[in-house]
Amino acid sequence: MNRNIIISILIFVILGLIGFMVYDLFYSENSHQNLYELDTKGENHIDPELIAYTEINQINTSLTELNGIAIDTKDQIIIAGNEVEIYGKDLKLTKRIISIDTVSCIAVNSKNELFMGVHHRIEVRDFNGNLLRSWDLENSESIITGIAATDNHIYVADAESRLVYQYDTQGKFLNFLGKGDAEKGIPDIIIRSSFFDVSIGRDGELWMTNPGRYLLQAFDAKGNFISSWGKHSDEVEGFCGCCNPTNFAILSNGNFVTSEKAIPRIKIYSPDGKFLYVVASPGKFDQGTKGLDLAVDSKNNIYVLDPERKQIRIFEKKH
């Protein structure tokens, strides 16, 4: 064979090898992969068929810290954090209540009384921000993470004592709810992070999260255990991570809306705890989002408090 041809072929081969090495070193996908990187992207995938809600609107709040949301019977939206903001049904700001201390959670009853958790104190204010009454929890170390109100009772979730305090509307202590009882098969509340939520059911019963056991539990007004549901699972049907759900709300038909941290997602469960569908998938939220408090209006639209984006995000069921 001609010597020049052999030299040409060798030069092409060498150039090809150099090109391959340059590509492999600097441009190949493999060069950016790391042997030790833990891939958690798969955990965030949700089948689009399961998503039954669509986001229809947002409220951009002016709060720097968002902790809790409540909706009254007239569909006014009350947001608590470093201040309290009240938005009308048209999503326009109507009132701002300046609070000296950060409000950790909020509830409203049919008498238009706002119940706010502030450190280990409960403050009751009207919609103009006037203080009607207040009282301290017995334990000064209490961490109030959730509050629910009926016209007769106030329920305060304390993540420190892992119990729910029951008061009358004037602040008189009545009972502890959520105590475990091994003989009756009632599990202790386990809190692994500062999320412990409460809400009132259709029949006036109190529902509370038991995040360390991946449960929601119901008690009557006398403190008797009624029922519980929930399970841990890496699949969408269950609650993920170390301790979930973080927050929940109850729709008018008795279905539960739950939110989770770690894999931030919002789902709907039937009254007996059967998974139904997804409201918002993890892709809807920024990485590390947690504390997605929930509220429901008279049309069963779901209002999600997004502390990362400082927004209230409104979801409506697809038709």
Taking CB under 8 A as the binding criterion, the range among 30-38, 54-62, 109-117, 135-143 that sits at the site for other proteins is: 30-38
Sole window of 20-28, 36-44, 87-95, 109-117 interacting with other proteins (rule: CB under 8 A): 36-44
Work out whether 36 is an interface residue with other proteins (CB under 8 A). Answer: yes
Query: How far is the C-alpha of 306 from the C-alpha of 55, rounded, in Å?
Result: 13
- Check residue 240 for interaction with other proteins (CB under 8 A): yes
> Is 262 one of the binding residues for other proteins (CB under 8 A)?
yes
**Rounded Cα–Cα distance for residues 269 and 31 (Å):** 44
Q: Which stretch binds other proteins (CB under 8 A): 126-134, 156-164, 165-173, 233-241?
A: 233-241
Interaction between residue 30 and other proteins (CB under 8 A) = no
- Told to check if 212 binds other proteins by CB under 8 A, we report yes
Taking the C-alpha atoms of residue 149 and residue 7, their distance in angstroms, rounded to an integer, is 88
3-class SS of residue 255: coil
Among 266, 236, 227, which residue's Cα sits nearest to residue 248?
266
**Which of 62, 242, 270, 283 is the binder for other proteins (CB under 8 A)?**
242
- If one asks whether residue 38 binds other proteins (CB under 8 A), the answer comes out as yes
User: Binding to other proteins by residue 247, rule CB under 8 A?
Assistant: no
List of residues 6+ apart from 49 with CB closer than 8 A: none
Concatenate the DSSP letters of all residues of 24-42 into one string: IIIISHHHH--TT----GG
Is position 234 an interface residue for other proteins (rule: CB under 8 A)?
A: yes
By CB under 8 A, name the one of 156, 243, 280, 302 that touches other proteins: 243
**Residue from the set 117, 241, 245, 291 that interacts with other proteins by CB under 8 A:** 241
Report if residue 193 touches other proteins, rule: CB under 8 A: yes
Distances, alpha carbon 153 to alpha carbons 169, 199, 236, 260, in Å: 6, 12, 35, 27
Cα separation, 46 vs 27, in Å, equals: 31
Number of residues that bind other proteins (CB under 8 A): 20
Angle at 306 between CA 178 and CA 237, to 5 degrees: 60
What are the structure tokens assigned to 169, written together? 């509307």
Please report, as ranges, the residues that interact with other proteins according to CB under 8 A.
Answer: 34-38, 40, 43, 190, 192-193, 212, 232, 234, 240-243, 262-263, 288
